[in-house]
Amino acid sequence: MNRAANTAAGTAASLREEDLRWGPDGLLPAVVQDARTGQVLMLAYMNREALRRTLETGQTWFWSRSRQALWHKGETSGHVQHVREIRTDCDGDTLLVLVEQEGVACHLGTYSCFMHRRAEWPRLADGPAAAPAGSGDHADAPEAVHVPSWWPGAPASAARLGDVLSELAAVLADRRRHPDPGSYTSRLFARAPDAALKKVAEEAGEVLLAAKGADRAGLVWEVADLWFHTLVVLEQAGISLDEIAAELARRRGKRRSGE
């Protein structure tokens, strides 16, 4: 049994039918989340058969309400989702499916379906909203509101940078498996490994020049270019970001222990 199926089998053992409250249409909403970064990828629906197949195969299956048919996520695109864990909410009427995503989750080509900002609440970043006229004083209003790093418009943070790099790495992996003649990235992979290696050397030099010239905007631009092409090289070599993170963590641990 492969790792995904084994994990799903373990989930099946603890997921009891009596814990689930199926809707009148026989469906449960399933929120799909990246198991490594916590990023929400998509929302779909499962019926009993879709859940059964998900547990048996270790990959996500859903029920299409528009087509009235089962569908295996990634069956045609290759963008399958390997299930790591399934949870239920407190009422048992919603599933949370933690997955490792291959390629991208959205049919529009983005890693997550939730990439399109429709509305903002500035008070989350700027403090409580002003009280409506005539509403009286709000003495119990909070003085500040914490802004999570993932909120659109929030300042970038190390955690958010990790999400961006993970998403970019996933897109690069998809470009390598599904070449697009019009894609710059696909052209890099077509000329592997020399094209990307040459770009890394070139961009490293640009980083040095920007830093030496105290060109702040230029330095940001060139570092982004360097990191992008470095991720291409890692994808060509079959090295994941998890391996890089593990090595950095190992070095951090050695410094802490005084080695």
Does any domain span residue 109?
Answer: no
Residue 77 lies in a domain: yes
Last residue of a domain, one of 82, 101, 120: 101
Q: Which CATH number goes with the domain that contains 199?
A: 1.10.287.1080
Q: Are residues 93 and 170 both part of a single domain? A: no
The residues, ordered by sequence, that sit 6+ positions from 253 with a Cβ below 8 Å of its Cβ are none
Is 132 a member of any domain?
Answer: no
Residues 6+ apart with CB under 8 A from 177: 78, 103
For helices 3-14 and 48-57, the axis angle rounded to 10 degrees is 130
From 101, 136, 170, the end of a domain falls on 101
Q: Mean pLDDT throughout 153-161? A: 53
pLDDT for residue 163: 76
Cβ of 181: how many Cβ atoms within 10 Å? 7
pLDDT over 70 at 175, yes or no: yes
Dihedral sign, CA of 200, 201, 206, 209? positive
Any domain includes 46: yes
> Which residue among 85, 101, 117 closes a domain?
101
Asked, for residue 134, whether it belongs to a domain, the answer is no
Question: Is residue 244 in some structural domain?
Answer: yes
Q: Is there a single domain that holds both residue 94 and residue 7?
A: yes
pTM for this entry: 0.52
Provide the residue range defining the domain that includes 246: 158-256
Say if residue 93 is in the same domain as residue 8: yes
Name the most confidently modeled range: 57-61, 77-81, 148-152, 170-174.
57-61
Higher model confidence: residue 92 or residue 159?
A: 92
**CATH code, 90:** 3.10.20.810
Contact 27, 152 (CB under 8 A): no
Residue 74 lies in a domain: yes
Of 229, 222, 231, the residue nearest 195 (C-alpha):
229
Best CA proximity match to 70, nearest among 95, 96, 50: 50
Task: Establish if 140 belongs to a structural domain.
Answer: no
- By CB atoms closer than 10 A (0-12, 13-18, 19+), residue 42 is buried
Strands 40-46 and 61-64: unpaired
The total number of structural domains in the chain stands at 2
pLDDT for the residue numbered 111: 82
Helices 158-177, 216-237: crossing angle, 10 deg rounding? 50
Whether residues 166 and 247 fall in one domain: yes
Share of the chain above pLDDT 90, in %: 44
Residues 94 and 171 in one domain: no
Q: Which region, left, alpha or beta, applies to residue 101 given φ > 0 means left and ψ of -120 to 50 means alpha?
A: beta
